[in-house]
Amino acid sequence: MAILKILTYPDKRLRFIARPVKKINKKIHNIIHNMFETMYSQQGIGLAATQVNIHLQIIVIDLMMEQYPPIVLINPKKIQTSGITQTEERCLSIPGFSKKITRAKDIKISALNIYGKQVYVKANSLLAICIQHEIDHLSGILLIDYR
């Protein structure tokens, strides 16, 4: 496994739109493992492939909480959102910066897991915030874009 270089703002590659993953194979599994290693090395809780200059729709999340095992979301799509919450967020791609962001309190998404199986995730609180933050990265959206 390898620790990947995290792109930092104002690197223009952070604005690239990630492409859907077409086939989950050994190469994709390698990317996922490297993303987890990279995230852990920076004490992060979420990482989008765009942040490590891989422009594919892959997200890894580990909230380091017993009730939430590490998750992989490939080609995630928001299905439903409800409620509003506001939280101070940070980003590995914008070191030293934090901003209060308003997001949906509850979300439901569809995605593929690491085995290529369609999964549906209902999330609230920190997990919902983290998923929305990482989905933003896949669309080239950063914390600084929020008012």
What residue spans define the domains of the chain?
12-145
pLDDT of residue 145: 97
pLDDT of residue 16: 98
Give the CATH architecture of domain 12-145: Alpha-Beta Complex (3.90)
Angstrom distances, CA of residue 39 to CA of 3, 33, 48, 51, 104: 8, 10, 10, 10, 24
pLDDT of residue 18: 98
pLDDT tens, 23-47?
A: 999 999 999 999 999 999 999 999 9
22: its two tokens? 């077409």
pLDDT of residue 67: 79
**Alpha-carbon gap, residue 144 to 83, rounded angstroms:** 22
pLDDT of residue 66: 81
**Alpha-carbon gap, residue 19 to 76, rounded angstroms:** 11
Q: Are 38 and 50 in contact (CB under 8 A)?
A: no
pLDDT tens, 106-146?
A: 999 999 999 999 999 999 999 999 999 999 999 999 999 99
Annotated catalytic residues are: 134
pLDDT tens, 49-107?
A: 999 999 999 999 999 988 789 999 999 999 999 999 999 999 999 999 999 999 999 99
**Alpha-carbon gap, residue 89 to 101, rounded angstroms:** 7
